[in-house]
A and B are shown apart, each in its own frame.
Chain A
Amino acid sequence: MELSLEQKFQDKIDRDERIEPRDWMPDSYRKTLVRQISQHAHSELVGMLPEGNWISRAPSLRRKLGLMAKVQDEAGHGLYLYSAAETLGVERDTMFDQLHTGKAKYSSIFNYPTLTWADIGAIGWLVDGAAIMNQVPLCRCSYGPYARAMVRVCKEESFHQRQGFEIMLTLCNGTPEQKAMAQDALNRWWWPSLMMFGPNDAESPNTKQSMAWNIKRFTNDELRQRFVDMSVPQAALLGINIPDADLKLDEETGKYSFGEINWDEFWQVVKGHGPCNKDRLAARVKAHEDGAWVREAAMAYAEKQEQKKLNTIAVKTA
């Protein structure tokens, strides 16, 4: 019996083989990946903004160098991901347009403000920590270019989390005021970090298909649970408290149960009503528009060089 293209495709996935750009794939698989990878790329780009806010005010040269390197990495992550998405046939400018017109989503965490230096510590520790938790399984995603981009990204992320934790540690070992600042940052970033894993499994209808396609390897709730279990001892080490009265260790499973996430807040921010949605988008659009003359000048130069080359050839062969 002749297998249908869909069946052959699914068999390949079930054998844990990778799909490459020119291989046949169902339209829905392609669409899902374009959406996920471009959203991921947008998140890396927008993710530079809350931290970029603190580069000029970093408390020491050491901190400034680390933060600049981290923010530059995030730009790189965006670029790896955009090029992975392009292998699926979507143009870079189409993706930029979708981001700039508000049609495309990015991680809602970046719509919160960075009020103090401790926020830079909390972001590295928690936000990059949650990103790593999400991204490590994506290194085994069935789509080759996405998986390979994630391998590069994950290699670079661990420095991000460590620099954040070191900032937190320094503040927590500092003056009472500094420690209070670290606690305040944890209070504000904890819940949004848990939201980074997305809606509860019951509210996440696409998870099943994504798992059947080996795009996703774990559910939102599974990853969130791991993140909580990993973070609780780290907060203890810092000597600050996770702002959740319901947080409790289940002796039997060794896992922490935790309080209900404020999903109303989550959906508000996703829908564009977070504290910084408008600022972030405006900053992103401005950066793109301010850079237009550079791209145009580079293109004009390239065309001129090309023309010069053609002229020389014409003279030689005349």
Chain B
Amino acid sequence: MNKNLPLYEIFIRSKNGLHHKHVGSLHASDAQNAIMNARDVYTRRQEGISIWVIESKDITASNPEDSDAFYAPAEDKVYRHPTFYDLPDEVKHM
């Protein structure tokens, strides 16, 4: 048997209105236990009001080696940004 308890990634919502944000990871026997541990490890100073946990092995990540091919197509699409469009200074509130 693996001596390590499973690894969980921890996400915390610091207050309503904000996204859950990745804060780190910890080991726990199951998801409920991971939430309890996350409470002790990551919210000792009221850093959160909601916790998500997911087992690390269940995360699928993009490959950094593919970054160029993956994200480069967005680079030359400047027309997706407001500054691409020329308007005279007199136009207000736009």
Contacts and interface: CB of A to CB of B under 8 A. Distances in A.
Nearest to B3: A93
A226 interface: no
Interface string B4-45: 110100000000000000011111111001000000110011
Nearest to A76: B41
Interface residues of A, number: 29
Contacts of A125: none
A284 B64 CA distance: 39
Interface in A86-110: 86-87, 91-93
Identify which of A69, A152, A156 gathers the most chain B CB atoms within 10 Å of its CB: A152
A65 B23 CA distance: 26
Given A22-B61, A22-B64, A23-B64, A149 B5 contact: no
Contacts of B40: 76
A298 B25 CA distance: 18
A83 B5 contact: no
A86 B25 contact: yes
B33 A80 contact: no
Given A73-B44, A295-B29, A86 B5 contact: no
B44 A24 contact: no
B44 A72 contact: yes
A22 B63 contact: yes
A305 interface: yes
A83 B44 contact: no
A305 B28 CA distance: 14
A302 interface: yes
A48 to B, nearest CB: 15
A112 to B, nearest CB: 27
B4 A79 contact: no
Contact of A302 (B3, B24, B29): B29
A305 B24 contact: no
B44 to A, nearest CB: 7
A83 to B, nearest CB: 4
B75 interface: no
Contact of B4 (A20, A69, A93): A93
B44 A299 contact: no
A295 B4 CA distance: 9
B65 interface: yes
Nearest to A87: B25
Given A20-B64, A149-B24, A299 B5 contact: yes
B53 to A, nearest CB: 13
A86 B7 contact: yes
A267 interface: no
A301 interface: yes
B4 A91 contact: yes
Nearest to A69: B44
Interface string A60-77: 000000000100110010
Contacts of A76: 40-41, 44
Given A76-B44, A93-B4, A298 B29 contact: yes
Contacts of A156: 45
Given A92-B4, A298-B33, A302-B33, A79 B61 contact: no
Interface of A: 20, 22-24, 69, 72-73, 76, 79-80, 83-84, 86-87, 91-93, 145, 148-149, 152, 156, 295, 298-299, 301-302, 305-306
